[in-house]
Structure 1
Amino acid sequence: MTLRRLVLTAFCALLLAVPAGAQDRVVNVFNWNDYIDPYMVQRFTRETGIRVRYDVFDSLETLEGRMSAGRTGYDIVVPTSEPTFSRLARAGAFRPPDRAAVPNLANLDPALMRQVESSDPGNRFGVPYLWGTIGLGLNAERIRAAAPDAPLDSLALLLDPNNARRIARCGIIMMDSATDVIPTVLRYLGKDPNSTSDVDLREVERVLMAVRPFIRNFSTGGAIEALATGQSCLAFGYSGDMIQAGLRAKEADRGVVVTYVAPKEGAQLWFDLMAIPADAPNPGNAEAFINFLLQPEVMAAITAHVRYPNGVPASRALVPAEVANDPAVFPTEAQRASFFTIGPVPQAAERARSRMWARFKAGR
């Protein structure tokens, strides 16, 4: 059994091991894969008697499609601030939490709250959960063997066809998300990541099509296991996922070493926000779960487990030193100077991006 399956099996066992009386109280959560400490979920049920039904997604497109269909049955969803959260908020998809029922909102970082306010005016609907960057997960030894002169700190490692062609034999994974990939390619080209220009989009397509023959598959969460087991040597994905791949590779002790690199051209910075759908069947239980998660010791445990920083400053002192001092998890101010964020794009531009992405994936 793979390590990933062992983790998932343990998670399911924890969710099933609920105390008596919890069967009639439930909170339905739709969150990113590999994005919580399962023991904190068990602790919540033990302390409150509320059972957690936990489903996962691995792309914003999946989440937004489910939300757009309506009547999801979820009490909490965790979209990224831009563009998904802001778009769903404008469409009336969320209800504001009762702040009196979530007193631990006071634990959130005021500076971070100001940052996400552009996506959630007045911080009305969203509660910051975790944040991170998008960059390169790599097995440097195997890449060096295939392409000794390839730059390990640059998006050119992936987007220059000369490099991608040589690395292809050891496996390249592209995250399956136009929302995340296109702004990064625009940044690589020296353009505005939020550009809606048809000319710029054609240039992005040219760059992506040039490396399309060398991409083994498209996956987001699946890149963790592929990197950890040595099935792939390069992936473009979320920072914490790439760091988790390195941890799993170390635990397996099979000689695979995976590291995460925020590219020198600049990494996309993102924030994931917990939100309560407008038609949530159990909003009170959702508020109880959110309030539980915002405790410093709980967020510290989650950050230690998934290797993503969180929005509760008091938690950092409780995070193990090797995590708190890891710049791949908590970027330095110098690193953050090159990071960028994205905003929403008009619907017509979004459709054009989706059509281009479909052509790219199909390779034609």
Structure 2
Amino acid sequence: MTLPLRILMPLLFWALGLAHAVAAEPSGKVLRVLAWPGYADPEVLQGFSQRTGARVELTVVGSDEAMRQRLLSGRGRDFDVFALNTAELQQYIDQGIARPIELQRVPNTRRQRPRFRELSAIPGLIRRVDGLTQVYGVPYTYSEMGLIYDRRQLSAPPDSLQVLWDPRWRGKVLAYAGGTHNFSLAALALGWQQPFELGERQWAPAVDKLVALRRNVLGFYSLPEESVQLFMRHKVALMYANYGLQQLHLLKAAGVDVGYVIPREGALAWLDCWAISSSTGDPELAHAWINFMLEEPASSLLVSRQGLANTVSDSVASAPQVPLRWLEPVESEERREHYWARIHSGDSPSRVLQR
């Protein structure tokens, strides 16, 4: 998954991937952190430095591709701890770049909501190695991909993904431009239990569903800011919120009267976790960082500044009774994106499926 601007950037230079260091009392300790903009604001870094006496070197990336380049080029040797989504985490476990996390060193996991303490229920966080269960990620922040609607145009909140295909809203719907996520969206709308692993017989109905979506929407967006501009300029009624709570935060900040719901079919959701590099020279300090990030002010700033959810408090926009489908690696990103390019360009279903 690529989420190049998932959260608001409090400092412009962070988007350029520059390192930001926070001074601390000299102790000889240095913690090298790789994360997304807004995940560790300056006062958070200062608080950690004051507590541990360590100097924090923070490097910020704006896309999964940039993170891969940083981690894979040095085999993780340039960082002690990093934040990434559960789907991306798999390759770093497989390549030995991420090391197991010792949860007894992260006691603040007890502060997390129950759904984030049940690690076995979240794909990608644990592995069984030689009969032992090993944990490779501690949940930090997440967002569901729900539905945003204009309260002035819809008298009641929509309760199903099928509203995106409702002809009453033709030309008043925005959807996301990414093919990988859109095939998972189609799978949920079709009632399939496994949206990340399409069988050979499922491709044709999924393509039909997405062609129908293309015909019903005003257009497709790539970035959250772009979606907000389109929503306001064209008086959009409904939007599939690939960036979830961040888009809701941006629209409300712009003064738009919008609501946010999780449809009854459930929702795709990305979950970012803290992981520890297998090359870290100070595992104790790396564990201390993860533990600190589950406290204040880090957790509350995710909500107040970034419009995201944290894992230690309930999100006002979440619907706990509705299942979330945490992103997983898909059967073929290449095939999904290839078909999506044809759908987006206006091809008919039969042409899309031509090899």
TM-score (normalised: structure 2)? 0.71
Give 1:288's aligned amino acid: A
Q: 1:167 aligns with which of 172, 176, 189?
A: 172
> Structure 1 residue 337 and structure 2 residue 321: aligned?
yes
Which of 29, 33, 49 is 2:34 aligned to? 29
Tell me: CA distance 1:19–1:297, structure 2 relative to 1, closer, same or farther (3 Å): closer
- 1:257 corresponds to 2:257: yes
Alpha carbons 1:140, 1:152 under 8 Å: kept: no
Match of 2:149 in 1: 138
For 1:124, the equivalent position in structure 2 comes to 135
Change (3 A) 1:303 1:149: closer
Measured in 2, the distance between the counterparts of 1:351 and 1:274 equals 28
Which position in structure 1 is the counterpart of 2:99? 95
Alignment of 1:128-277 (within 5 A): 128-141=139-152, 144=153, 152-160=158-166, 162=167, 165-167=170-172, 172-174=174-176, 176=178, 178=180, 180-192=181-193, 193-212=195-214, 214=217, 216-223=219-226, 226=229, 233=236, 234-249=239-254, 255-277=255-277
- 2:117 is aligned to 113
Distance in 2 (alpha carbons) for counterparts of 1:346 and 1:174: 17
> Cα distance, 1:339 vs. partner?
1.8
Offset at 1:94? 0.8
Report deviation, 1:29.
1.6
1:260 is paired with a residue whose SS is strand
Deviation at 1:50, TM superposition (A): 2.0
- The change in CA–CA distance for 1:149 and 1:247 in structure 2 (over 3 A counts) is closer
The percent of aligned pairs where both chains have the same amino acid is: 22
Q: What SS is found at the alignment partner of 1:353? A: helix
Aligned letter for 2:265?
E
Tell me, in whole angstroms, the C-alpha distance in 2 between the residues paired with 1:304 and 1:140: 23
Provide the aligned length of Structure 1 versus Structure 2: 326
1:321 is matched with: none
What CA deviation, in whole Å up to 9, does each residue of 1:296-354 have, x standing for no partner?
55423433433444333xxx4xxxxxxx5x631xx3xxx4333242574675x444334
> For residues 121-180 of structure 1, what are the alpha-carbon distances to aligned partners after superposition, in whole Å with 9 as ceiling and x for unaligned?
335211111233211233343xx3xxx7997443234345x3564216xxx3516461x3
Alpha-carbon distance change, 346 to 305 in structure 1, aligned in 2, over 3 angstroms = closer
Counterpart in the other structure of 1:57: 62
The CA RMSD measured in Å over matched residues stands at: 4.2
How far, CA to CA, are the matches of 1:50 and 1:228 in structure 2?
43
- 1:39 aligned partner: 43
TM-score when normalising by structure 1:
0.69
Cα distance in 2 for residues equivalent to 1:165 and 1:27? 49
The DSSP-based 3-state class of the residue aligned with 2:93 is helix
Residues 96, 124 of structure 1: 8 Å contact kept: yes
Q: Deviation per CA, 1:251-305, whole angstroms, max 9, x where unpaired?
A: xxxx422332212332224432211233457756543321211225542343343
